[in-house]
Amino acid sequence: MSDPSPLLPPAFAQWFAQRGWQLRRHQAEVLAAAEAGASALVIAPTGGGKTLAGFLPTLVRLHQRPREGLHTLYISPLKALATDIARNLEAPVGEMGLDVRIETRTGDTPQNRRQRQRQRPPHILLTTPESLALLLAYPDAAAFFAGLQRVVLDELHALVPNKRGQLLGLGIARLRRLAPGLQVVGLSATVAEPERLLAWLSTPEQPARLIQGDDGAEPSIEVLIAGGHMPWSGHFGVYAADDLYARIKRQRLTLIFTNTRSQAEIIFQALWRLNEDALPIGLHHGSLEIGQRRKVEAAMAAGRLKAVVCTSSLDLGIDWGDVDLVVQVGAPKGASRLLQRIGRANHRLDEPSKALLVPGNRFEVLECMAAIEAIAAHALDGEVQHERCLDVLAQHLVGTACAGPFDADDLYAEVSTAGGYQGLSRQDFDDVLAFVATGGYALATYERYRKLQQGPDGLWRLTDGRLARQWRMNVGVIQDAPMLKVRLGRRVVGEVEEMFAATLTPGDTFVFSGRVLTFEAIRETDMFCRLADSGAEPKVPNYGGTRLPLSTHLAARVRGWLAHPERWPQLPAPVREWLACQVDRSELPNDDELLVECFPRNGRWFVVVYAFAGWNAHQTLGMLLTRRLERRGAGPLGFVGTDHALAVWSLRPVDDVASLFSVDILGDDLEEWMAESSLLKRTFRQVATIAGLIERRQPGQEKTGRQMTVSSDLIYDVLRKHEPQHVLLRATRADAAVGLLDIRRLADLLVGVQGKIRVRHLARVSPLAVPVMVNIGRENVAGSALDDLLDEAVDDLVAEAMGPRLAA
Amino acid sequence: MTLDPHLVPLQLGGETLMLDGRGAVWWPERSTLIVADLHLAKAEAFAAQGRFLPPYDSRATLARLVELINAHRPDHVVSLGDGFHRRDGYDRLDAADRQQLDALGLVTRWTWLSGNHDPDAPNGHGASAPELQLGRLHLRHLPTPHPGQAEIAGHLHPKAALRVRGRRLARPCFVTDGQRLLLPALGTFTGGLDVWAPAIAGLFAGPFDVLLCGRDGRLRQLPGSRLEGARRVKVRQGGT
């Protein structure tokens, strides 16, 4: 293999040789694809030389035929990644003496440099989907991109499933129009369904090639069973801190991933309590002040840290330092996510990455085993994907009009080939166009304010140049929750979601940035805190964000472990005993039936369902079952869900339990609940912001916000009443079905178990029910409507004032 | 007296009023219905700035008015100011909405008090006035800091939040201390100001009551101290 590719010029071959490298097979295939003018999808594990593969054809081309002007556009989901890649490219460019200019362009790029870039573009421009959208909206976009040859899309697997991928897909379609023959190369980690990414990258005229990199060494993953002990509930893994600490001491640099920020805080605290050797252990999550995060990253890169506790904040992007162990605390939730995290350790392909899983409870042990098994079998999670998002399309149509007049038929043809928009109906396109032009309401009252006007030439154009500025202020699809600055005296130590702050009462204590803080007051966008008295137990350990859903794929594997006792010898003893006890007292869920247990406890009647449908779907099911029980007069009192099971309890016993789960539960009850649900309203707010109906909140604007904006909840209510089929409500329902409610998952579950529901009536709580039962009291939401809650608040008061007479 | 579930009686400055949980005051003795901050044609004002809010807010607000007028059959309706979001709001209304409003003008007598958004009443639509004295009560848009007599005012769009079982509930509300009554905004696209904001809480020297308008049109009465934010204010007062 002295001459692996005839396409590699001597200067390059020499550079590879000097470094002791060989051109890898997939790198050669990318060169060949470029030579043939084809687009490609490169799937390779981290450390596989993927990024170099992406840029190699550009560098070779510019070496052989030097030219001016923009040649290659690189787009990544992270600004920091763009900057890092620019730095990495300097090595080959400098060492081979190539005359190639490389620049980044992100939200942080100074105005004068941006202007200069448009006048004299570099050969390679590294940017983000949002900056691309902005570039495409300039009136000179056609000239700017006319000579573009290649686009490299990094971490494509992370972009495509969400709305940023939608924005990017539309941008790429535009680029293909402006620069015919454009080659698009997507770089992706290993995914479950590469054909979806491939379809995203392909057009009818230009199908993309699939290029698979060689697999690296199989990772070595073990489950930590700390001192033979295993808690019944919780996800924090604090019980394992001693063992974890011992492991950290032995490693060079350990990356400890958690699933939530509060988890990260708690593990960080637990480790520092043990830290007699004063090991440098850092913390990194999305709520921390950006300067603090940068400091941790720099310290990692410089090898000054021994361990970093983090959240998904370090899932993607740059490799900071020489990580030799990855720890996952709490359930992995999905095989793909776990694999991605493990990939952060050891970037040499020929050595296995080392990982340690720390389950938080007995069910999580099963989940860890299932994930290890899935990774060994190379079976990854399929991902639910946003498709044909009409709100993103609305934003794109205005952006396109900002660049110049467009023909609706042409634009429809272009958009319906875009990644994520294939199969878009003309009706939907026209509805979005009408929305953008005049609001698209049946009551056509806004004709005189129209934003887009069709001229005598049939082309659509903006009616007012100022609209372009308004659009620029609101571009992008990333939805930041409104944040408050956390202040310790005058110092800002980070940010929390406004939603979280609203749940606190002054005097409440919570863990933040490794310390226990006492909440004092909120003023405007500041949340004032002080350090809590030493030794204070945090009252609210839990803050921050989204719950990662358990993947369907992993859930099925967990069921598999339960249903097949012959595999139990691989499980730790406490888990084996727990399962054996369950067999003795009740039974185990099997592969194709739905196990439901009913038992009395403390004067309440419990129904526990082992649906393994994930927390989100269980929340929905809990809500629906509560409604049903209410109608049946069972007097439901509450429900609580985990990723694996759901418990509902009521005042009176429930008859004919199996019929509770009939499929029609997804009919009227669901409609009604969804209509009231705050989830749907929150989704509408996002959709309306992206579509440009309401303004994105700008920093510093909050003060005047009250007068300037109308609450999106009010808009939602009015629209739902008067025009339920409006394009924005359609977009909202589609989003909710994908992202928030897991309705489809619930529907699949209920349809699948019809006639196969096993009801067990027990005298007392079963072992398997314990992990869900111990959550009761932590989150207790009844299915009552708002007005009932108001009445309850009043009743409390009356009871307080009138004493036991009323209470009886 | 009827047992209308929407109504709660209130003594204000020696007069007996009925607070209607649908967001208005009904004064039986004078057959007068009092409403505040309708902000008609607000969506139009946004559309003019390129934000196409659903043009159904006026329709929804008018429907609430119709319900209230049908329920009480008043001889007189008083709008406490900001009846329209903009001075030219009447002309900006959709034709059907304008007809609806004209029809309401035929079934009862109207007085439009001036607000900060609409200093003038719509042309030919009843009387307009800066303020109004009715019985022992003074009706005006902006509450006065030290009124000589009991007053009913709008402008502030009061709203209150409380926490029940971990859920935060915020609803429009009436605020009163027996001398002053603040009305919730009846307009569809009207946000609210929390009762603990200085603009509202600062008006009342002593304790005040808050009556929340439920979605079912019924009122829930709570003392201010029970509401979310009450402790926050105390902390601040204690600190300074």
- A52 and A146 within one domain: yes
Residue of A540, A687, A710 best to disrupt the B interface, most CBs of B under 10 A: A710
Q: Do A522 and B232 touch (CB under 8 A)?
A: yes
Residue B33 phi/psi, 5-degree rounding, is -105, 130
> Is 60 exceeded by the pLDDT of residue A768?
yes
Selecting from 3.30.420, 3.90.930, 3.60.21, 2.40.128, what CATH number does the domain B7-140+148-239 have?
A: 3.60.21
Tell me the range of A25-34, A512-521, A742-751, A765-774 where mean pLDDT is highest.
Answer: A25-34
Q: Specify the pLDDT at position A2.
A: 44
* DSSP category for residue A405: -
Distances (CA, A) of A574 to A357, A365, A559, A569, A580: 17, 10, 18, 11, 10
Among the partner residues A521, A692, A695, nearest to B235 by beta-carbon distance? A521
| Helix and strand numbers, DSSP H then E, in chain B | 6, 16
> Is 60 exceeded by the pLDDT of residue A120?
yes
Q: How close, in Å, is residue A721 to chain B by CA atoms?
A: 9
Number of domains in chain A: 6
Q: Specify the pLDDT at position A786.
A: 39
Report the candidate in B80, B134, B76, B78 with the shortest Cα–Cα distance to residue B107. B76
Query: Judging by beta carbons within 10 Å of its beta carbon (0-12, 13-18, 19+), is residue A214 exposed, middle or buried?
Result: exposed
- A325 and A303 within one domain: yes
Which secondary-structure segment (H or E) carries A487?
strand A483-488
Distance separating alpha carbons of residues A771 and A598, to the nearest angstrom: 16
Q: Do B54 and A723 touch (CB under 8 A)?
A: yes
Q: Do A723 and B56 touch (CB under 8 A)?
A: yes
Among the partner residues B50, B55, B189, nearest to A445 by beta-carbon distance? B55
- A397 and A359 within one domain: no
Q: Specify the pLDDT at position A678.
A: 62
Is residue A550, in this structure, part of any structural domain at all?
Answer: no
Per-residue 3-state assignment (H helix, E strand, C coil) for A518-530: EEEEEECCEEEEE
| Tokens 């129009």, located at residue | A177
Among the partner residues B60, B94, B188, nearest to A445 by beta-carbon distance? B94
Pair A129, A164: CB distance under 8 Å = yes
**A445 to chain B: which residues are within 8 Å by CB?**
44, 47, 55, 94
- A521 and A433 within one domain: no
B146 CB within 8 Å of a chain A CB? no
Which secondary-structure segment (H or E) carries A290?
helix A290-301
Distance separating alpha carbons of residues A584 and A302, to the nearest angstrom: 55
pLDDT classification of A141: cutoffs 50, 70, 90: very high
Tell me the range of A173-187, A281-295, A637-651, B153-167 where mean pLDDT is highest.
Answer: A173-187
Q: Do B57 and A718 touch (CB under 8 A)?
A: yes
Residues 122-141, chain B, touching A (beta carbon < 8 A) = none
Residues 177-236, chain B, touching A (beta carbon < 8 A) = 188-191, 193, 212, 214-216, 218, 220-222, 226, 231-232, 235-236
> Is 70 exceeded by the pLDDT of residue A775?
no
Q: Specify the pLDDT at position A704.
A: 37
Q: Do A711 and B56 touch (CB under 8 A)?
A: no
What is the pairing mode between strands A483-488 and A526-531? parallel
Distance separating alpha carbons of residues A674 and B151, to the nearest angstrom: 42
Q: Which of A282-296, B192-206, B220-234 has the lowest mean pLDDT?
A: B220-234
Q: How close, in Å, is residue B202 to chain A by CA atoms?
A: 17
Q: Specify the pLDDT at position B132.
A: 94
Q: Do B214 and A786 touch (CB under 8 A)?
A: yes
Distance separating alpha carbons of residues A83 and A390, to the nearest angstrom: 32
Q: For A780, which residue in chain B has the nearest alpha carbon?
A: B165
The boundaries of the domain holding residue A463 are 390-473
Residue B157 phi/psi, 5-degree rounding, is 50, 55
pLDDT tens for each residue of B38-83: 999 999 988 988 889 999 999 999 999 999 999 999 999 999 999 9
Strand positions, DSSP E, A547-651: 594-601, 604-610, 636-641, 646-650
For residue A60, give both structure tokens: 């070779």
- A97 and A73 within one domain: yes
B54 CB within 8 Å of a chain A CB? yes
Among the partner residues B52, B60, B212, nearest to A718 by beta-carbon distance? B60
CB atoms within 10 A of CB A222: 11
- A183 and A86 within one domain: yes
> Is 80 exceeded by the pLDDT of residue A20?
yes
How far is CA A185 from its chain centroid? 23
Write the DSSP string, A718-786: HHHHH-TT-HHHHHHHHHIIIIIS-HHHHHHHHHHHTT-EEEEE-SS--GGGHHHHTTTTTS-B----H
**A464 to chain B: which residues are within 8 Å by CB?**
50
Q: Specify the pLDDT at position A747.
A: 79
What is the pairing mode between strands B24-27 and B32-35? antiparallel
Report the candidate in A305, A380, A304 with the shortest Cα–Cα distance to residue A342. A380
Is residue A653, in this structure, part of any structural domain at all?
Answer: yes
Q: Do B232 and A695 touch (CB under 8 A)?
A: no
Residue of A703, A778, A787 best to disrupt the B interface, most CBs of B under 10 A: A787
Q: Specify the pLDDT at position A543.
A: 45
| Tokens 């909202």, located at residue | A732
> Is 60 exceeded by the pLDDT of residue A794?
no
Q: Specify the pLDDT at position A214.
A: 83
Query: Judging by beta carbons within 10 Å of its beta carbon (0-12, 13-18, 19+), is residue A251 exposed, middle or buried?
Result: middle
pLDDT tens for each residue of A205-237: 889 999 998 877 888 999 988 766 676 666 667
Distance separating alpha carbons of residues A414 and A170, to the nearest angstrom: 9
Strand positions, DSSP E, chain B: 7-12, 15-20, 24-27, 32-35, 76-79, 109-113, 127-129, 132-134, 137-140, 151-153, 158-164, 167-176, 180-182, 193-194, 209-213, 219-223
What is the pairing mode between strands B32-35 and A307-310? unpaired
Report the candidate in B70, B149, B135, B161 with the shortest Cα–Cα distance to residue A790. B161
Is residue A93, in this structure, part of any structural domain at all?
Answer: yes
* DSSP category for residue A118: H
B164 CB within 8 Å of a chain A CB? yes
- A205 and A225 within one domain: no
Distance separating alpha carbons of residues A462 and A437, to the nearest angstrom: 9
pLDDT classification of A802: cutoffs 50, 70, 90: very low
Residue of B56, B94, B99, B228 best to disrupt the A interface, most CBs of A under 10 A: B56
**For range B201-223, the mean pLDDT:** 88
- A488 and A468 within one domain: no
- Position B179, amino acid: Q
- Position B171, amino acid: R
- A684 and A631 within one domain: no
Pair A258, A310: CB distance under 8 Å = yes
pLDDT tens for each residue of A472-507: 988 988 766 667 888 888 888 888 877 667 666 677
Q: Specify the pLDDT at position A210.
A: 96
**A784 to chain B: which residues are within 8 Å by CB?**
none
Q: Do B164 and A793 touch (CB under 8 A)?
A: yes
- A254 and A151 within one domain: no
**For range A138-159, the mean pLDDT:** 94
CB atoms within 10 A of CB A95: 13
- A755 and A706 within one domain: no
Strand positions, DSSP E, A387-454: 452-454
> Is 80 exceeded by the pLDDT of residue A13?
yes
Q: Do A792 and B164 touch (CB under 8 A)?
A: yes
pLDDT classification of A6: cutoffs 50, 70, 90: confident
Is residue A670, in this structure, part of any structural domain at all?
Answer: no
* DSSP category for residue B28: G
Q: Specify the pLDDT at position A234.
A: 61
Distance separating alpha carbons of residues A317 and A298, to the nearest angstrom: 14
Among the partner residues B53, B167, B215, nearest to A710 by beta-carbon distance? B53
B3 CB within 8 Å of a chain A CB? no
Domain ranges for chain B = 7-140+148-239
Q: Specify the pLDDT at position A799.
A: 45
Q: How close, in Å, is residue B96 to chain A by CA atoms?
A: 10
Among the partner residues A464, A502, A521, nearest to B168 by beta-carbon distance? A502
- A238 and A366 within one domain: yes
Q: Specify the pLDDT at position A670.
A: 66
Q: Which residues contact A51 (CB under 8 A, 6 or more apart)?
A: A85, A88, A154, A187
Q: For A501, which residue in chain B has the nearest alpha carbon?
A: B168
Is residue A805, in this structure, part of any structural domain at all?
Answer: no
What is the pairing mode between strands A124-127 and A102-105? parallel
Q: Do B50 and A449 touch (CB under 8 A)?
A: yes
A-B contacts at Cβ under 8 angstroms = 122
Q: Specify the pLDDT at position A708.
A: 47
Distance separating alpha carbons of residues B106 and A409, to the nearest angstrom: 51
Q: In what order do the strands lie in the sheet with A646-650?
A: A636-641, A646-650, A604-610, A594-601, A757-761
**For range A236-246, the mean pLDDT:** 85
User: A46: domain CATH number?
Assistant: 3.40.50.300
Is residue A571, in this structure, part of any structural domain at all?
Answer: no
Is residue A751, in this structure, part of any structural domain at all?
Answer: yes
Distance separating alpha carbons of residues A788 and B167, to the nearest angstrom: 12
pLDDT classification of B122: cutoffs 50, 70, 90: low
Q: Do A693 and B51 touch (CB under 8 A)?
A: yes
Residue of A790, A791, A798, A800 best to disrupt the B interface, most CBs of B under 10 A: A790
Is residue A725, in this structure, part of any structural domain at all?
Answer: yes
- Position B38, amino acid: L
Q: Do B53 and A467 touch (CB under 8 A)?
A: no
**B60 to chain A: which residues are within 8 Å by CB?**
718, 721-722
Write the DSSP string, B57-95: HHHHHHHHHHHHHHHH--SEEEE-S-SBSSTTHHHHS-H
For residue A84, give both structure tokens: 């890092």
Q: Specify the pLDDT at position A507.
A: 76
Distance separating alpha carbons of residues A15 and A313, to the nearest angstrom: 35
Domain end point (choices A212, A247, A277): A212
Pair A235, A228: CB distance under 8 Å = no
Among the partner residues A449, A706, A722, nearest to B47 by beta-carbon distance? A449
Q: Do B212 and A520 touch (CB under 8 A)?
A: no
Q: Specify the pLDDT at position A544.
A: 40
Q: Which of A164-168, B15-19, B223-227 has the lowest mean pLDDT?
A: B223-227
What is the pairing mode between strands B167-176 and B158-164? antiparallel
Per-residue 3-state assignment (H helix, E strand, C coil) for A43-73: ECCCCCCHHHHHHHHHHHHHHHCCCCCCCEE
Helical spans, DSSP H, in A511-614: 552-563, 573-585
**A440 to chain B: which residues are within 8 Å by CB?**
52
Report the candidate in A711, A789, A790 with the shortest Cα–Cα distance to residue B213. A790
| Tokens 């209470």, located at residue | A807
Q: How close, in Å, is residue B189 to chain A by CA atoms?
A: 6
Residue of B40, B53, B210, B222 best to disrupt the A interface, most CBs of A under 10 A: B53
Q: For B43, which residue in chain A has the nearest alpha carbon?
A: A710
Pair A452, A401: CB distance under 8 Å = yes
Angle at A496 between CA A494 and CA A498, to 5 degrees: 140
Q: Do A787 and B218 touch (CB under 8 A)?
A: yes
Q: Do A715 and B214 touch (CB under 8 A)?
A: no
Report the candidate in B208, B151, B222 with the shortest Cα–Cα distance to residue B8. B222
Q: Do B222 and A435 touch (CB under 8 A)?
A: no
pLDDT tens for each residue of A391-440: 999 999 999 999 999 999 999 999 999 999 999 999 999 999 999 999 99
Pair A515, A332: CB distance under 8 Å = no
Q: For A722, which residue in chain B has the nearest alpha carbon?
A: B56
Among the partner residues A695, A719, A779, nearest to B54 by beta-carbon distance? A719
